Amino acid sequence: MASEIIFLTVPIGNLSDITKRVSDALVEGKKFIVEDSRVFLSLLSALEIPSDHKEWVIWHDHTDQNVLRKVKSWINHKEKIYVVSDAGSPVLSDPAYDLLLALKEEHFILDSYGGVTSVIQALELSQLPPIPFHFHGFLARNNQDCIEQIQQIMNIKGTHIYFLSPHRVLETLGAIVGVLPGIKMVLARELTKKFQEVISFTSNDWPTLQETLTIKGEFVFLFYISENKHNTLAHDKLNQLAKEYLSHQKPKMLAKLLSEITGMKVSDVYNQLHTDKNS
């Protein structure tokens, strides 16, 4: 059985906001990675949880190799490890994301005890860069509108998060994965429930994944756009659209090309071209 690393989301102020699941983990846990030991001990004290028989290490921007070796030792011994920041979600501050980068070669199961919002829960479990992140709500119902939504944010660096309806997840992803070649995507479903599942994939994996994907529960869809990736994708996309326009010389093709450049919706560009032509 693999070691588990579990993020614990703790109150940002009012202690009564803590969930029972997190409180139970603080009671039962033996190994902790914390942002500040004084804050951690104060939290335990406020909750009347003894610190006896608990072991912790401090993880921050200046953590040394001894701490990393200790954490790797816990993982090798199949320990259950809890990660606690001073307040809120560990992944949005020290120590969680840098910790994941340092442990990327290690084998462990990642989980999160938050449960207040699926957006943060999915962000934590995705292992994508957490800052900046952009939450966009549900993708459009029309496939072409979905594609245009994705195209319009391709110049925005960060992790992008969308909700997907289980009734349209296959159709929607089938329409948009081709717009994200080479980009790591993540699907999270049934978050905090018994059959919670987090799947990382790329567009090349989609044909196989869609055959085995369990379509149940609400889905959260995430992907990360880097500046370099956007520049490459934008250059390739513009070249392809330019070739298509030169081959067909159709207004719709030109509208697509100008949409990529301006960020406007294809339909708006097309309508403007049609208006200008008739004026």
Mean pLDDT (the chain, rounded): 87
- Of 138-147, 164-173, 246-255, where does mean pLDDT reach its minimum? 246-255
Percent of the chain scoring above 90 in pLDDT: 59
Q: Which domains does the chain have, with CATH numbers?
A: 3-116 (3.40.1010.10), 133-225 (3.30.950.10), 229-278 (no CATH)
* Cα Rg, the chain, nearest whole Å: 23
- Starting at the edge strand found earlier in the chain, the sheet holding 55-58 runs 55-58, 31-34, 80-84, 3-8, 108-113
Tell me the pLDDT band of 230, cut-offs 50, 70 and 90: very low
pTM of the model: 0.74
**β partners of residue 263:** none
- pLDDT tens digits, 31-66: 999 999 999 999 999 999 999 999 999 998 777 889
Sheet of 197-201, strand order: 133-138, 158-164, 219-225, 185-189, 197-201
Q: Which of 4-8, 137-141, 230-234 ranks highest by mean pLDDT?
A: 4-8
User: Nearest to residue 233, comparing CAs of 178, 174, 185?
Assistant: 178
Cis ω for the linkage preceding 50 (within 30 of 0): no
63, 33 Cβ separation under 8 angstroms: no
